[in-house]
């Protein structure tokens, strides 16, 4: 079985190049170099075909993504990060989901649009971007018009992102850490800060600051930053980076939802929620720096 439709030859060069980056796989900074079309799997644990854990309108996303019909989420199983506090570990680490073809992805996208969703929101897309890009291209030809949201943990390679230029309308990356040692301990990704900062620059180059129409996001960059206890997320450095190297008008959601999940109980530093003061000081700092902080 193939994940590509019969008319694969008509797909753009960018989609073909993304496919090539997957065999051997150099799609993301892990650079596993496994041949996924031959069934080999690397760190993310996903082969040639994407696995989807759920599809449906989601009303818990940022209000600029929700509207009256919700954000049309497609959650992918597997992940290229190894966060020991992951709230969705059954999907990301245990890879609960079902394999889908490109045709099934397209059908899901069109159904979400027909349902009235404000956008198509690909959650944890980094390790399956060849299929996503092919599906976007073909779905657009079939009448898909709503914005495409790339909702990522932020561990994305610039070379791969460049191939997504024109496919994505709204980039919504996490900015998880500013410190390499913390990124190594909590997500098994010591190069996360440098990779993430470069990725955010490339995303902003492609789509610019977030733009809205009638209260709904149409295009641009929306940063998610989860405040961790003891400033382990490096909130102040991340906010400085955004204000000084991306744009003082960057839109950011400073999030207070952290709670110990999965294996967090094994790490005393993160085995608690951030205090209100820890959260508020990060949020206040973002406001002081002039960022567009979502409420
Ligand atoms: S996408 Fe998966 S297999 Fe490919 S380099 Fe990243 S973690 Fe490894």
- Does the Cβ of 21 fall within 6 Å of ligand 1? no
291 vs 248: CA distance, rounded Å:
5
**Of all protein residues, whose CA lies closest to atom 6 belonging to ligand 1?**
28
Q: What is the pLDDT of residue 16?
A: 95
Mean pLDDT, range 219-229, rounded to an integer: 97
Best CA proximity match to 238, nearest among 175, 162, 149, 170: 175
- Does the Cβ of 42 fall within 6 Å of ligand 1? yes
**Ligand 1 atom, smallest distance to 31 CA:** 5
Tens of pLDDT, residue by residue over 18-48, are 999 999 999 999 999 999 999 999 999 999 9
Is 283's pLDDT higher than 90?
A: yes
Residues in the chain: 295
- Does the Cβ of 28 fall within 6 Å of ligand 1? yes
Q: What is the pLDDT of residue 8?
A: 56
187 vs 44: CA distance, rounded Å:
13
**DSSP category for residue 54:** E
Best CA proximity match to 150, nearest among 52, 44, 222, 67: 222
Best CA proximity match to 107, nearest among 52, 46, 60: 52
Is 203's pLDDT higher than 90?
A: yes
Distance 272 CA to ligand 1 centre (A): 31
In angstroms and rounded to an integer, the radius of gyration of the C-alpha atoms of the chain is 18
* pLDDT classification of 226: cutoffs 50, 70, 90: very high
Distance 48 CA to ligand 1 centre (A): 11
Q: What is the pLDDT of residue 94?
A: 81
**Ligand 1 atom, smallest distance to 26 CA:** 5
Distance 150 CA to ligand 1 centre (A): 17
Q: Is 139 helix (H, G, I), strand (E, B) or coil?
A: helix
Q: Please, which residues have CB within 8 angstroms of residue 168's CB and are 6 or more apart in sequence? A: 148, 149, 150, 206, 207
Return the best residue to mutate from 127, 189, 195 for the ligand 1 pocket (most ligand atoms within 8 A of CB): 127
User: pTM value?
Assistant: 0.95
* pLDDT classification of 2: cutoffs 50, 70, 90: very low
* pLDDT classification of 1: cutoffs 50, 70, 90: very low
162 vs 175: CA distance, rounded Å:
19
Distance 286 CA to ligand 1 centre (A): 33
* pLDDT classification of 5: cutoffs 50, 70, 90: low
- Does the Cβ of 44 fall within 6 Å of ligand 1? yes
Do the bridges between strand 98-99 and strand 51-58 make them parallel or antiparallel, or are there none, so unpaired? antiparallel
Best CA proximity match to 186, nearest among 223, 138, 153, 224: 153
Tens of pLDDT, residue by residue over 81-133, are 999 999 888 888 888 899 999 999 999 999 999 999 999 999 999 999 999 99
Q: Is 215 helix (H, G, I), strand (E, B) or coil?
A: coil
**Of all protein residues, whose CA lies closest to atom 4 belonging to ligand 1?**
25
Answer yes or no: are the C-beta atoms of 258 and 85 closer than 8 Å: yes
Q: For Cα atoms 284, 155, 292, give the angle at the middle one, nearest 5 degrees.
A: 25
């Amino acid at each position: 079985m193939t994940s590509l439709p019969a008319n694969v030859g008509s797909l753009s060069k960018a989609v073909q190049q993304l496919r090539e980056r997957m065999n051997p796989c150099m799609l993301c900074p892990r650079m596993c170099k496994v041949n996924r079309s031959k069934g080999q799997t690397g760190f993310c644990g996903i082969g040639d075909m994407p696995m989807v854990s759920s599809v449906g309108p989601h009303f818990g996303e940022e209000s600029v993504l929700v509207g009256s019909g919700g954000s049309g989420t497609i959650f992918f199983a597997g992940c290229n990060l190894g966060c020991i506090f992951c709230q969705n570990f059954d999907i990301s680490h245990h890879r609960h989901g079902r394999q889908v073809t490109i045709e099934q992805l397209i059908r899901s996208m069109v159904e979400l649009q027909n349902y009235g969703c404000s956008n198509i929101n690909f959650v944890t897309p980094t390790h399956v971007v060849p299929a996503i890009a092919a599906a976007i291209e073909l779905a657009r030809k079939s009448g898909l018009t709503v914005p495409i949201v790339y909702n990522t943990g932020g561990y994305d390679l610039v070379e791969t992102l460049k191939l997504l230029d024109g496919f994505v309308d709204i980039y919504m990356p996490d900015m998880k850490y500013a410190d390499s040692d913390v990124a190594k301990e909590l997500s098994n990704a010591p190069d996360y800060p440098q990779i993430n900062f470069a990725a955010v620059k490339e995303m902003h180059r492609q789509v610019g600051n977030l733009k809205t129409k009638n209260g709904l996001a149409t295009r641009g960059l929306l940063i998610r930053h989860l405040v961790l206890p003891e400033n382990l997320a490096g909130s102040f450095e991340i906010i400085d980076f955004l204000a000084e190297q991306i744009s003082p008008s960057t839109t950011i959601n400073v999030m207070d939802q952290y709670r110990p999940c999965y294996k967090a109980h094994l790490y005393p530093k993160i085995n608690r929620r951030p205090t209100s003061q820890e959260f508020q000081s990060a949020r206040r700092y973002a406001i002081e720096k002039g960022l567009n902080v979502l409420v």
